[in-house]
Amino acid sequence: MTSLRHILAAQSIFAGLSDAELETLTGCARNVRFARDDYLLREGDEATTFYVLREGRVALETHGAPHGQLLIETIEAGDVLGWSWLFPPYRWHFSGRAMEPVFALALDGACLRGKCEADHDLGYELMRRFASVIIERLQTTRVQLLDLYGAPRAVQGGAR
């Protein structure tokens, strides 16, 4: 049987961490399952946990009149879901809904924050990795906002 530590080590966000660091993380981790349309996190709720998706897809959403429910992006297998547990006020900014059955690793944010305070090397390493995820999401969101597949402005009304 594959141990939780091995499962953690196989996730790209944790790749290359030392045995001791993985052991520390394992103490804060558990396997979780969600059915389609279950919410892994809800906008405004306390952000106590983050997820590393092993299987399935999650819709990152927000809602409000007059738009109703708005789908921002999807989080796929191998991706990290949630970083609001890292910073005060520790509240989710968006909701995460399982679009299909989801199998994930859940990591206790408060537990991990405590361990990072006690071990700043681990804290730095995790912060560095999360910063990389956050930057990648920021960059892709910027590209998404460009609406690249819309009609090219330079060509509209031109000869082509």
Partner 1 sequence: MSIETLAQTVRDPMIPRPYRIVRTQRELADTVTLKLTPEDGEAVMEFAPGQFNMLYVFGVGEIAISISGDPLNRSTLTHTVRAVGTVSRAIRELAASDTIGVRGPFGAGWPLEAAEGRDVIVVAGGIGLAPLRPAMYRLMAERERYGRVVLLYGARTPRDILFRHEVERWRTQLDLDVLVTVDRADPSWYGSVGVVTRLIPHAPIDPANAVAFLVGPEIMMRLTAAELMTFGLAAENIYLSMERNMKCAVGFCGHCQFGPYFICKDGPVFSLPQVQHLLLQREY
How much of the chain is in helix, strand and coil states, percent to nearest 5?
A: 35, 30, 35
User: Is the Cβ of residue 90 or residue 103 nearer to partner 1 in the bound state?
Assistant: 103
Beta bridge pairs of residue 59:
74, 97
User: Is the Cβ of residue 76 or residue 121 nearer to partner 1 in the bound state?
Assistant: 76
- As measured in angstroms, the least distance from the Cβ of 126 to partner 1 is 20
The alpha-helical segments, DSSP class H, found in 4-149 are 4-9, 19-26, 109-118, 120-145
User: Is the Cβ of residue 89 or residue 157 nearer to partner 1 in the bound state?
Assistant: 157
- State the residues that interact with partner 1 by CB under 8 A: 12, 57, 59, 61, 69-74, 76-78, 99-100, 140, 143-144, 146-152, 155-160
- As measured in angstroms, the least distance from the Cβ of 142 to partner 1 is 9
- As measured in angstroms, the least distance from the Cβ of 146 to partner 1 is 7
- As measured in angstroms, the least distance from the Cβ of 99 to partner 1 is 5
Ramachandran class of 147: left when φ > 0, alpha when ψ lies in -120 to 50, beta otherwise: left
Q: Tell me the C-alpha distance between 50 and 83, whole Å.
A: 7
User: Is the Cβ of residue 88 or residue 149 nearer to partner 1 in the bound state?
Assistant: 149
Residue 159: CB atoms within 10 A of its CB come to 4
Q: What is the largest CA-CA distance in the chain?
A: 65
User: Is the Cβ of residue 16 or residue 158 nearer to partner 1 in the bound state?
Assistant: 158
- As measured in angstroms, the least distance from the Cβ of 74 to partner 1 is 5
